Chain A
Amino acid sequence: MRSGNLIPWLGLLGLLAILVLILIYILKPKYEEKKVSSTFIWKLSLKYGRKKVPFDWLQNSLLIALQIIIITIIALLMAQPLFVQGGAYEGETIVILDTSVSMRAEKDGISRFDRAKKEIEDLADETLKRGNRFSLFVALPDGETAPASSVRNAIRSDDEALIRQNIHEARPSFGEANLEAALEPVINTMRSNPDATVYIFTDRNRAGSEGVRIVNVAEDEFNAAILSFTTKRDGYHTFEAEIGSYGRAVATFDIIFQLRNVRFADAQGVTQPQEEEFQIQKTVAAIPDGGTQTVRFNMTTDNIRVVSYESAYLKLNVDDGYSFDNEMYIFGGRTENVKVQLVYPAATENAAENILLTARFNALSNADVTPVPIVADRPNQYSSSGFDVYVFYRTLPELIEDLPSDGSIILIGIQRLPPSWGSNPFGVDFNGLSPLLTWENADSVHLTGSQWPVYDTVLGDLQHVYYDSLFQLRATRHAVLDVRNLHYRTLMEIRNSPTSAVPVLIVGDNANNSRLKTIILGLDIEFSNLGTVFSTTWMLGNILSYCIPPIISEHLVTVGDTVMLAGRPSTDIVQLLFDNADGHRESREFQTSPEFGLMVAEFKSIVPGRYWIQQQVRGDDGTLGVQQTDNFFVRIAERQSNFAQDLPPIILRMERDNLDIDASIPPNLLDIYVWVALALVALFIIEWWVQYREQF
């Protein structure tokens, strides 16, 4: 029975027969006895030594050599080895082309990438002339596909036209090519041809193992780069940038710093009127090659501080061959405006609690509050659309259909739901019960010892706030809310004992209208100290943030990062504008999500530059109007600007000893058993002939 493990041992056993054969030749030399008249001359001839006769050694050893070859071939056939076909795979050249954005750096009008393509073309010509196969692997950033449709990430061919086309159409990216990922298919290729030579065309010096040659196509290109541009907010904004210079002994150049729609505060903290543009131009000190310099941007005088801004822009006024890191934006210096409609009974317009509530909303810098007092004969005079947040204080429309159709509804101080709403308001099944059950008195219940998410996030440095340490929220009367339905989540509770907790702030989605979110505050200004504690503003601001999620996840991302785009509940379309790789303005539109507050798109940025987001509302005539805009900036990776940065070796996994050669790859195997067998027969014939010749 054949065994895969046994077969090579059989071959080894067969080779032992060669030793046996040699022993036989040594131990049993066959001498033919011959009577001669005299051995006198023969003995004399021995003194002459063995005369040099061409191939005499071969003739003397021909028989045993033949027998050894025969036994070797038989052993070979017994071992049944795999014969790898030579030819095109021998001396194969494998090229990995780095498409990182740093390959776009130019010197004398020629980029590193073009230089690499020229060298690869020469290498391909040389390889194909030798009759070998050429493989090209284009190392792309993670998640990117080849820039041109006809270019494949990997080709392995001996077709010169195909190779030339792929080299010609290869384009550099704006990201960081993942060379390690490109090595995976290379290793797969080398499983069928471990002797291939691997070239990596890149622009950094990196270590390579045996058989892997790093070709550095960089030629000391000059690059002045903004490595980082950040803002710090400590009540006011301060700006700082780190500038680097590479490829020039000493570099000096101007930088321009601009703020758009900026508001300053004077020394007394009084906010000044908004300025459309504020600019600083300064010259950086000489930066040595590979050095960096930190630049801080102080305003004209120290007494002026930045309160808010629409955008901060930094530009290096320098002519280098690598412009992708010469400018950078910072957005998000201004809080989004939230349109709030505050609906309350006209009778309470001048009540203290109503004034306090209005003041608290007005204290929010980003809230654009529209008060709507409701009189009895005109109960529905408020707007049911066009606002982000609708606050109903102590009043509700009699018909649930008169509620706004989008946005968030905040109910405050509602002591009962209108009977016509039924037991299932907002489309939420409460097992026949309303979430707002009853309104009951309490003896100075207060919030103690708990931490609630609604008190997070407004001030970043004060994320964990405890009521007992910061303020005492007290109430003498509160609503009894039912949150047994999973559609509601408790954001805040009050306690009057360690074991009993009563929810006073809940939030729920509307099953009938997914673009509507309902928030119920079970406290009343009149029966609590909500209107007097300053943190009420804080709480309301967080509630608004909760109701109106940011329309963008980040304002500064790196090429290849994903940006989350969100839509306002009242928005119909989210439009994204940016300049594409070819420099043309490109627009993409995303339909807002049917569900409240969820993102509408994940956008993976592959081109650096400024991006505009417009939240658009479709009017009654079908035209789109811009409701909200925002920006984000996509920068190239800092590592791609730092030409002097040493990158770690990437070739460790290419150690050939570690290659798991896949012997089961069938295409390159050559079945030469028949030819070996024929050679064996021929050798037998020669052996017989030589034997015959020696004996007769």
Chain B
Amino acid sequence: MRFNIINDEFINRLETLSLNMPNPMQGYFGGVHRTRTYGNTVEFADFRDYNLGDDIRRIDWNLYSRFEKHFIRLYVDERQMHIQIFVDCSASMYKGNKDKALYALRIMAALGYLSVQNMDKLTMRLMKGDFAEDPCGIIVGKNSFFRGIGQIDEAAVFDGDCNLESAIVNCENLGSNDGLTVIISDFLTDSNWKRAVDYLVFKKRQVLVVQVLSPEEIDPRYKGRVQMMDSESGDVMDPKNMKLKITKAHFKAYREALEDYIRDIKDFCTSRGALFISGSTATPIEKFIFQKLFEIGTIK
């Protein structure tokens, strides 16, 4: 399965952006993300009393002349973050509307590129069934990123169903307090993805939930007597399939159900300090990235 995930024009537009971590985290040495700890950069941060063993080169002698007491100058610390992006590879992301899969991969690529551009570590995982596949490992640097995108393009097979909870919770090397976890899915699933978010919050990771929906899912057009075959169903008798004589009343109920479901996701994310955006594949990917991600402060 080949997706034309990125191209030069798309990359060029991302050059002007950078990934932002609103919540300071511990991270790793190196990188460009400010943290609450003090480091060895040249940007002044604070003073503190001199303690025995401190580097005397950091004593601020001007203050000593004024207060006849030794103070140490402290500087801002910048850390490297680990960005982990999970993409839902269930059939619902592809079989109903192929644009959803491409849209999700492009969001993943955009965020991944911004992360490697900030010298962060990047992991791109494809969630299939109960597991999250990591086809390209930890990526640092643009060269690795482009190579990883190629590997993702080859490994991305959208089929079957996906248990978001198991795929994320059971994933190794999730890290702790060291970066951003992005979950890209349509969230049209019975799996308890909220537990996965809770688990990530427990791990003190910044969480960004991205919901991708196709226009048909936002405003279905079919009506009358319809036997709806779920893309993740095994056969005709699968309980996921359903027969319905769709009327205007059903449409009205559907819209209310969808709105309530999106509001529920948003409320849940807000309550957990996670970020949430929902978008339609009808919205151009550039607009989604440069507007919606910008609005929630994920990029700057």
Contacts and interface: CB of A to CB of B under 8 A. Distances in A.
Interface of A: 29-53, 56, 59-60, 694
Contacts of B249: 50-53, 56
B254 A45 contact: yes
A42 B96 contact: no
Interface stretch (B58-66, B74-82, B226-234): B226-234
Contacts of B240: 38-39
A42 B223 CA distance: 12
A33 B252 CA distance: 21
A612 B135 CA distance: 141
Given A33-B229, A53-B249, 5 more contacts: A33-B226, A36-B229, A44-B258, A53-B252, A60-B247
Contacts of B92: 37-38
Given A45-B250, A50-B250, A56-B249, A38 B96 contact: yes
Majority-rule SS of A interface residues: mixed
A37 B216 CA distance: 9
Contacts of A30: 225
B97 interface: yes
Nearest to A46: B253
A36 B243 contact: no
A38 B256 CA distance: 17
Contacts of B231: 35-38
Contacts of A43: 242
B53 interface: no
- Residue with the highest number of chain A CB atoms closer than 10 Å, among B190, B220, B257, B260: B257
B266 interface: no
B37 to A, nearest CB: 44
Contact of B225 (A31, A41, A44, A45): A31
A48 B230 contact: no
Nearest to B244: A42
Contact of B229 (A35, A51, A56, A694): A35
Contacts of A39: 228, 230, 240-242
Interface string B207-230: 000000010110010101111111
B56 interface: no
A38 B229 contact: no
9 contacts: A31-B226, A31-B227, A32-B222, A35-B229, A38-B188, A39-B242, A44-B257, A50-B247, A60-B247
A271 B265 CA distance: 136
A37 B248 contact: no
A120 B216 CA distance: 74
A45 B229 contact: no
Contacts of A38: 92, 96, 186, 188-189, 217, 230-232, 240
Interface string B70-100: 0000000000000000000001110111001
Contact of A29 (B100, B190, B220, B225): B225
A40 B189 contact: yes
A50 B217 CA distance: 19
A111 B97 CA distance: 95
Interface in B252-287: 252-254, 256-258, 260-261
Given A48-B256, A52-B249, A34 B100 contact: no
Contacts of B188: 37-38, 40-41
B216 A51 contact: no
B245 interface: yes
A41 B189 CA distance: 9
A53 B246 CA distance: 13
A60 B242 CA distance: 19
A326 B91 CA distance: 113
Contacts of B232: 38
A46 B257 CA distance: 9
A34 B241 CA distance: 10
